[in-house]
Structure 1
Amino acid sequence: MRDEGLARRDLIAAGFAGAALLGLSGRAALAQSGDKAPDAPRSSPAVARAHRVEVPMPHGGVAAGHPLAAMAGTRMLMQGGTAADAAVAAMAVMNVVEPWASSAAGNGFATCFERRSGKVQSLAFTGGAPALLDPDVDPKELDSGNKAVAVPGAFGGWIALAKRYGRLPLATLLEPAIGYARDGHPLDASIAMFIRRQQAVLARHPTSAAIFLPDGQPPAPRAIFRNLPLARTFQSLADAETRAFKGGASRDKALSAAYDHFYTGPIAQDMTRFSQANGGWLRMEDMRAYRPVWDEPVSTVYRGLDVYCSPLTSRTGLELCEQLNIVEGWDLASIADDRASLTHLLIEAIKVTKADVYRYAGDPRFVDVPVATLLSKDFAATRRKLIDRLQAIAFPDDAALATGRQPDRPAADEDTRGGDTTSLSVVDKEGNAIAVTTTIGGGFGTSVVMGDTGLLCNNGLRVGSTAPYAGHPNAVAPGKRALLGNGPIIVLDKGQLKLVCGTPGGETIGQTQFQFLINALDLDMPIQQAIEAPRFALNAKPSFYKPGAAITVQLEDRFAPAEITALKAKGHSVETVGGFAIGSVQGVMVDPSGARMGGADPRRMGYATGY
């Protein structure tokens, strides 16, 4: 048995009390000084597989895109709340502390596992284009500004989650966010950087500048940041519920009162007045007509596990399932040591899948999408045949647009605009689990704070979320919901929860989650190691909507030089990016012992808390 060189983490994991079980002498195991002490440099592992510890969640916990959001959700669990209560509280705090990517007026998806029934449901809280939208508008006006506004969807999703799966009052769920917005919180350095980058656009809109550019300047990192209009908005929603309770309303009716306050009451009225006064298209009729939608998730069986993800208008659910179906035909674990070959196969599966999804996906209320075909094992087997295990293939052009390959807009408008999102995963004491990915589109969404609400809206009408080609299934149109990359995941093993996870990252969401699942399910990595492992992402020029687009593989620079050389030899166009640059997975995995372990990504501000 080992004696001299026991790694510090191994020693701690084993526990001093169990040292005898390892066959160690008391003196060797319990040394407090010298080379054998647990903190001696020689006892440390040469390579750290993960830089954060897994977080135990015996009674539940939250992994979210910001520590304050994770803690707010965990507070709800400790007060007797459910996974849904924790998710709503965390989303509300994310609106305050990560405003460039999250808003009650944004969009998103939730994937929900109910332990009692064993069912998985998807919730889409995705607003469409306003009815007055002019589809011939200059695409630049859909990037930011008053014409870029998509109908707010997220708050409706919060109420839908609270009604179906929640227990606590909305006023309790919003309390942490109200406090941080009213009293302030230290602004994360990355958020300060994003505000500085977006300064010129935010400065065009007085309502935005008043919040994000106090005294005309971006706030400094760790400055105490407040959003007083948002605090008032959230408080008004809580008050609407409280008034209903005082009038004898049931919990559902009280939550409906808050919903109505947002979608037909003072908030909708303020947004409509502001939009109309500033040349926007959002109107009361758009707000009144909106509804969050419960639906069956898309799913596949991968190596005996049931994988659930978001349906249309999320593109990622289709992407994830097709990618898994393609690689299921290969024994990935057997080539784990040949990192370049494994990465090559994953790249090619993503490439083929992107061609399919970007050819067919759109709002199913407007277009027929061959969902069953895209999810089928037979289709995956056919697409797998396109892949050369030794050489990179071109981005498939056999998925050409029905209207032809030439854009009907200027070439410059073909380029996809990126998206910015945030994600959280929750497990509660009863074993219910919810993953949520929410977004306001590109960073700061429209960049316009709507009147006195403190809220930014989603700019999901921009190129990227919509296709730049007339006649494409995802071309922008009045009332139509654009595609989101959001695709939170639930994995079940014989009906029991195995994994709940999600990530932000715009175009990279489906790619990041795919790699994370391969790490966790095929390569058997613990959750934190699976999260921190180096990642890659495919980038397409001008975009994945374009058959024959030029594909570049962006590799985090922690890939070994020999692996990068081998990928180039296989014909991939490769560039390296920062070591922790792609995606930001938050998740909870259930160990075979039944232990629930949370993980959060060091690539952004993500943090996991449990109790």
Structure 2
Amino acid sequence: MSDTPPSFLDRREMLAAGLAGMALSTLPGRALAQSGARAPDAPRTGSASVAAHRVEVPMPHGGVTAGHPLAAMAGTRMLMQGGTAADAVVAAMAVMNVVEPWASSAGGNGFATCLDRKTGKVQSLAFTGGAPRLLDPDGDPKALDHGPKALTVPGAFGGWIALARRFGKLPLSTLLEPAIGYARDGHPLDASIAMFITRAQKTLALYPTSAAIFLPGGQPPAPRSIFRNPDLARSFQALADAESQALKGGADRDRALQAAHDYFYTCPIAQEFARFSTETGGWLRLDDLKAYRPRWDDPVTTNYRGLDVYCSPLTSRTGLELCEQLNLVEGFDLAALPADDPLFTHYLIEAIKVAKADVYKYAADPKFAQTPVEGLLSKRFAAQRRTLIDAARAGLYPEGGNAAAFDRSALEPARQDFAHQGDDHTRGGDTTSLSAVDADGNAIAVTTTVGGGFGTFLVMGNTGILFNNGLRLGSSAPYAGHPNKVAPGKVALLGNGPTIVLDKGRLKLVFGSPGGETIGQTQFQFLVNVVDRGLPIQAAIEAPRFALDADPNFYKPGAAITVQAERRFPDATIQRLTAMGHKIERVGPYAIGSVQGILADASGARMAGADPRRMGYAVGY
């Protein structure tokens, strides 16, 4: 008797077939058996691998896809209570602060990209705090990695309030209720978060306020143990109470939300932040907090193969990276290349090199330096830079191009050669992303961060809140004279790039990814998977990815580039890329980025996907 399993599809294969757009009517008749040896659950029908680890989630009325199932559920609860996409993402971000504290915080920073379905307009919200005004730009860069001198002004909570004021309906007390409950009563700690706490144990232990929460009894919490942050629960409850008291006093919704904002940035919580910073030797003061404002702006945009792509403007570098990468590969017929053709991957790698070089040359806080945004987004500039891409071999990491020549308002700065200065290696970044749509067709993508994992590692006094270490090398340039060198009041660059894609004015995609330096690269590959390869959203998310790493950093022309490739790339592809001159490092099979997104087809049907590389989960209704 043959040991070969019968040639019909098991349950997971049928799910994968659905993900690939295969109708059940095309399956062999015996694949539809409901019982016996041919049933979908029969032991001998199991396959060695699956096409997807998540099923697509339909969202006929709306839903949320986020970096943790509890966050996705909290956001969807808001929608089911009559809330908007803005209400959903605020509730989800608050829960992410509790359940994924190493990458998300009310004291963090981030960007949101928002589609107002009624007007058809896409807007960007930057909730990014700058360096404290007392910062010493000539201090030890290592002090910017963690501790009291590493923190930036907290931007995220101000962003939550800005989203709720402009696009929300529900009271803040309702939006914060799920997060307050999980922080106060606890939730089972995901095994990956327990692992991150264990890895960070030595640094967390340096700071008693952090150790009290993350190292109870002096030890990291066990996976799936009940984890609590009672100080954070009290802070969130106080913010909700500030709103409630304002409403009782006769304030309208807008003024009540402003009361919660003031409680965080001028009143008791702000005062605790400033007190703790001063006592621990930090630079942050109450004036820094009072001066902070989130910023609404137009996103950067390009048209890629007939689709309008909108992403975050400065002080995010990723919007510029994503748009230029798309402009570069638009000159190649990617759809004609098989997905396993090494040339397909080669073109993407080379486009990332060129775009990184251009963006890292210029990008900085526009209040402090002139960035030729128009030039970097120019199709003519992309055509010129595309000539650097050789179809036969890998190129070196180039110097940035003269984007100012394609910008009507910019001047090309004098060329500067940045010499090696001590430790100029980029520090990593850790982030989370979520996307939501509501019943009215409004859509929002948010990517929020604390910078490197656990941010400053320093819980601010009795608030339970971690801050962003957004001044670290990578977000800021290590070289004197570079436009992105740290300075008092300057906002260092983020990699956050939540994205919305419209097809003739209709929502096509809303998505984002965490991953620090890899965010723009991950989102680029995902979008190409959808547009050029025609993949459904979950398949596009789960397809193998790569990421470029630069030694010492992407600021420096001639940096040594390593292509980190997930192990699921075929051996033949890796061998051919190596022969073309790429330095390839194989990494885990699901190791790069974590896309959460929602795809709408021409009929208006919306399907959400979530990335198995982390804890991503989608919930629709």
CA gap of 1:42–1:204, structure 2 versus 1, over 3 A, is closer
Amino acid at match of 1:494: K
Worse-superposed segment, 28-37 or 175-184: 28-37
Instruction: Work out whether 1:450 is the aligned partner of 2:460.
Output: yes
- 8 Å CA contact 1:403–1:472 kept in 2: the answer is no
Q: Distance in 2 between matches of 1:456 and 1:61?
A: 28
Instruction: Work out whether 1:463 is the aligned partner of 2:467.
Output: no
Amino acid at match of 2:130: G
Residue in 2 that maps onto 1:88: 90
Amino acid at match of 1:511: Q
- 8 Å CA contact 2:302–2:309 kept in 1: the answer is yes
CA gap of 1:19–1:531, structure 2 versus 1, over 3 A, is closer
Residue in 1 that maps onto 2:407: none
**Residue in structure 2 matching 1:406, options 409, 415, 418:** 418
- 8 Å CA contact 1:5–1:42 kept in 2: the answer is no
Worse-superposed segment, 231-240 or 337-346: 337-346
Residue in 1 that maps onto 2:549: 539
- 8 Å CA contact 1:84–1:166 kept in 2: the answer is yes
CA displacement 1:25-59 (0-9 Å, x = unmatched): 7xx57533455433446766776321211011111
Deviation at 1:609, TM superposition (A): 0.6
Q: Distance in 2 between matches of 1:83 and 1:60?
A: 8
Name the SS for the 2:149 alignment partner: helix
**Residue in structure 2 matching 1:267, options 242, 256, 269:** 269
**Residue in structure 1 matching 2:609, options 582, 599, 603:** 599
Residue in 2 that maps onto 1:517: 527
1:569-584 equivalent positions in 2, closer than 5 A: 569-584=579-594
Instruction: Work out whether 1:53 is the aligned partner of 2:42.
Output: no
Residue in 1 that maps onto 2:354: 352
Instruction: Work out whether 1:489 is the aligned partner of 2:499.
Output: yes
Q: Distance in 1 between matches of 2:420 and 2:161?
A: 41
Q: Distance in 2 between matches of 1:359 and 1:31?
A: 60
Q: Distance in 2 between matches of 1:404 and 1:469?
A: 10
Amino acid at match of 2:545: R
Structure 1: state its 5+ residue gaps: none
Name the SS for the 2:122 alignment partner: strand
Q: Distance in 2 between matches of 1:508 and 1:582?
A: 7
Amino acid at match of 2:418: Q
CA displacement 1:489-522 (0-9 Å, x = unmatched): 0000010001000000000000000000000111
Q: Distance in 1 between matches of 2:197 and 2:604?
A: 43
Residue in 2 that maps onto 1:341: 343
CA gap of 1:8–1:452, structure 2 versus 1, over 3 A, is same
**Residue in structure 2 matching 1:7, options 6, 9, 34:** 9
Name the SS for the 2:433 alignment partner: strand
Q: Distance in 2 between matches of 1:470 and 1:29?
A: 66
Q: Distance in 2 between matches of 1:235 and 1:97?
A: 17
Q: Distance in 1 between matches of 2:558 and 2:102?
A: 33
| TM-score (normalised: structure 2) | 0.94
**Residue in structure 2 matching 1:480, options 482, 486, 490:** 490
Amino acid at match of 1:463: L
1:249-264 equivalent positions in 2, closer than 5 A: 249-264=251-266
- 8 Å CA contact 2:340–2:570 kept in 1: the answer is no
- 8 Å CA contact 1:554–1:574 kept in 2: the answer is yes
1:131-150 equivalent positions in 2, closer than 5 A: 131-150=133-152
Q: Distance in 2 between matches of 1:389 and 1:563?
A: 15
Q: Distance in 2 between matches of 1:165 and 1:186?
A: 32
- 8 Å CA contact 2:515–2:592 kept in 1: the answer is yes
1:207-356 equivalent positions in 2, closer than 5 A: 207-356=209-358
Residue in 2 that maps onto 1:192: 194
Q: Distance in 1 between matches of 2:257 and 2:23?
A: 55
Residue in 2 that maps onto 1:561: 571
Amino acid at match of 1:210: A
CA gap of 1:561–1:271, structure 2 versus 1, over 3 A, is same
Q: Distance in 2 between matches of 1:451 and 1:471?
A: 36
Amino acid at match of 1:370: P
Worse-superposed segment, 91-100 or 43-52: 43-52
Q: Distance in 2 between matches of 1:130 and 1:220?
A: 37
Q: Distance in 1 between matches of 2:213 and 2:414?
A: 46
- 8 Å CA contact 1:160–1:292 kept in 2: the answer is yes
CA gap of 1:203–1:304, structure 2 versus 1, over 3 A, is same
- 8 Å CA contact 1:598–1:608 kept in 2: the answer is yes
CA displacement 1:247-299 (0-9 Å, x = unmatched): 01100000000000001000110000111111100011100110000000000
Amino acid at match of 1:564: I
Q: Distance in 1 between matches of 2:244 and 2:117?
A: 30
Deviation at 1:402, TM superposition (A): 4.6
Q: Distance in 1 between matches of 2:14 and 2:260?
A: 53
Structure 2: state its 5+ residue gaps: 1-5, 403-412
Deviation at 1:405, TM superposition (A): 2.5
Name the SS for the 2:395 alignment partner: coil
Q: Distance in 2 between matches of 1:446 and 1:467?
A: 18
Q: Distance in 2 between matches of 1:452 and 1:216?
A: 18
- 8 Å CA contact 1:19–1:29 kept in 2: the answer is no
Q: Distance in 2 between matches of 1:136 and 1:237?
A: 37
Name the SS for the 1:483 alignment partner: coil
CA gap of 1:80–1:565, structure 2 versus 1, over 3 A, is same
Q: Distance in 1 between matches of 2:339 and 2:139?
A: 51
Q: Distance in 2 between matches of 1:22 and 1:354?
A: 45
Amino acid at match of 2:318: T
Deviation at 1:403, TM superposition (A): 6.3
Name the SS for the 1:146 alignment partner: coil
Name the SS for the 1:201 alignment partner: helix
Q: Distance in 2 between matches of 1:374 and 1:558?
A: 33
Percent of aligned positions with the same letter in both sequences? Answer: 72
CA displacement 1:164-207 (0-9 Å, x = unmatched): 00000000000000000000011111111111111111111111
RMSD: 1.9
Worse-superposed segment, 142-151 or 195-204: 195-204
CA displacement 1:295-330 (0-9 Å, x = unmatched): 000000000000000000000000000000000011
Name the SS for the 2:129 alignment partner: coil
Q: Distance in 2 between matches of 1:573 and 1:23?
A: 42
- 8 Å CA contact 1:5–1:36 kept in 2: the answer is no
Deviation at 1:547, TM superposition (A): 0.9
Amino acid at match of 1:473: P
Residue in 2 that maps onto 1:374: 376
Deviation at 1:595, TM superposition (A): 1.3
- 8 Å CA contact 2:434–2:446 kept in 1: the answer is yes
Instruction: Work out whether 1:203 is the aligned partner of 2:205.
Output: yes
Amino acid at match of 1:281: W
CA displacement 1:326-350 (0-9 Å, x = unmatched): 0001110101244311000000000
Q: Distance in 2 between matches of 1:24 and 1:593?
A: 29
- 8 Å CA contact 2:541–2:609 kept in 1: the answer is yes
Deviation at 1:592, TM superposition (A): 2.8
Instruction: Work out whether 1:548 is the aligned partner of 2:558.
Output: yes
Amino acid at match of 1:450: M
CA gap of 1:24–1:381, structure 2 versus 1, over 3 A, is closer
Q: Distance in 2 between matches of 1:552 and 1:290?
A: 39
Q: Distance in 2 between matches of 1:207 and 1:366?
A: 35
CA gap of 1:267–1:407, structure 2 versus 1, over 3 A, is farther
Instruction: Work out whether 1:610 is the aligned partner of 2:612.
Output: no
